[in-house]
Amino acid sequence: MKKFIGDPQHVVRDALVGLEKSAEQVRVDHEHRIVYRAHPKPEGRVALVSGGGSGHEPLHAGFVGEGMLDAACAGEMFTSPTPDQVAEATATADRGAGVLHIVKNYTGDVMNFEMAAELAGSVRVETVVTEDDVAVEDSTFTAGRRGVGVTVLLEKIAGAAAEEGHDLDAVAALARRVAAGGRSLGIALTSGTVPSVGKPTFDLPDDEMEVGIGIHGEPGRRRVPLAPAPEVARMLVEPILDDLDMTGAPVIAMLNGMGATPLIELQLMYGEVAPLLERAGVTVARTLVGNYITSLDMAGCSLTLLRADDEILRLWDAPVNTAGLRWGA
């Protein structure tokens, strides 16, 4: 295991120190492992709280800031945050207008955010669960589909709506619309390594890749021989378009790196994905290429397509100022 770490048991703690030192947008409650905005939004606005296991940076803590999240709970590596932790974040982030919980569909996350909503007492909480991974139903840690890339897009879009002053019901309805319109698929070339484990999560032969990989290394649909980028692009695009019609609406496309794949390969992959989408009649209105929801040092990528509309595009374009996503602010 070759990593820039100190004590393998304390990587999350140590990374939060560096995040706080480097990102002016946030402050960190180190005791509870909660990342808050450095400058909380005004009273009377809906707050957005997310979180999950660590190892997917910049998700979620890197998306705390103006126009996106109000707080993010960092679980241990690939481990759900605790109900107490989420309840604390919910109570602190609330500005009197209620809190939207944004939860990726993993059994532990769903359960712990649910308990946190109960613990939050007088704070009104609505919840949106993302479940956009078309690869498999009922994975290792999940009933139903796993929540992956659309979470990034949802946090941006719902964050912009909350910033504009929409009420909790409206922000939650919008978030559910985004969750319903998003689909993703991932492909791994190598496994990531959890520092406290010290060896790769799974074995993948040098001449194979895994189609439909989960962001914690959960098994995908199948292992196939390494293929050139044009074929990989088809393996990413076709299952998504088979699952949801993406024509007749503007689409937001994210080609995401899993952590150890360099940008030049992501750019190249998007160059293969784009013409497939064009040929299928899909109109890509906005694009994001880079590392946004990762799996430690896994080499691989995922494609997320979101069936959008004019309102969603407007909210997408609104200013955002976070460590992981920033424009117009």
Catalytic site positions: 56, 216
Which region among 41-49, 82-90, 136-144, 263-271 touches a copy of itself (by CB under 8 A)?
263-271
Examine residue 17 and tell whether it contacts a copy of itself (CB under 8 A): yes
Interhelix angle 263-279/229-243, nearest 10 degrees: 50
57 versus 88: smaller Cβ distance to a copy of itself: 57
Ranges within 188-217 binding a copy of itself (CB under 8 A): 189-190, 192, 206, 209
Ranges within 27-66 binding a copy of itself (CB under 8 A): 54-55, 57-58, 62
Tell which phi-psi region holds residue 175, choosing left (phi > 0), alpha (psi between -120 and 50) or beta: alpha
Considering only CA atoms, which of 167, 166, 243 is closest in space to residue 212? 243
187 versus 312: smaller Cβ distance to a copy of itself: 187
Q: The tokens 């712990």 sit on which residue? A: 112
Contact (Cβ atoms closer than 8 angstroms) between residue 295 and residue 56: yes
Least distance between a copy of itself and beta carbon 137 (Å): 27
C-alpha separations of 100 from 29, 68, 81, 129, 155 in Å: 20, 12, 16, 11, 10
- Nearest 10 degrees: Cα torsion 5, 7, 12, 13: -120
The angle at the Cα of 55, spanning 52 to 61, to the nearest 5 degrees, equals: 55
Tell which phi-psi region holds residue 259, choosing left (phi > 0), alpha (psi between -120 and 50) or beta: left
From 261, 302, 307, 308, residue interacting with a copy of itself (rule: CB under 8 A): 261
Strands (E), 57-188: 71-77, 99-104, 125-130, 182-188
Examine residue 313 and tell whether it contacts a copy of itself (CB under 8 A): no
My answer on whether omega of the bond before 60 falls inside 30° of 0, hence cis, is yes
From 115, 221, 271, 280, residue interacting with a copy of itself (rule: CB under 8 A): 271
Examine residue 255 and tell whether it contacts a copy of itself (CB under 8 A): yes
Examine residue 279 and tell whether it contacts a copy of itself (CB under 8 A): no
- Show the site string, 97-116: x = touches a copy of itself by CB under 8 A, - = not: --------------------
239 versus 259: smaller Cβ distance to a copy of itself: 259
54 versus 304: smaller Cβ distance to a copy of itself: 54
Least distance between a copy of itself and beta carbon 71 (Å): 18
Least distance between a copy of itself and beta carbon 116 (Å): 24
Residues binding a copy of itself (CB under 8 A): 2-7, 11, 14-19, 21-24, 54-55, 57-58, 62, 189-190, 192, 206, 209, 226, 228-230, 232, 255, 259-272, 274, 287-289, 291, 294, 296-297, 299, 301, 321, 323, 326-329
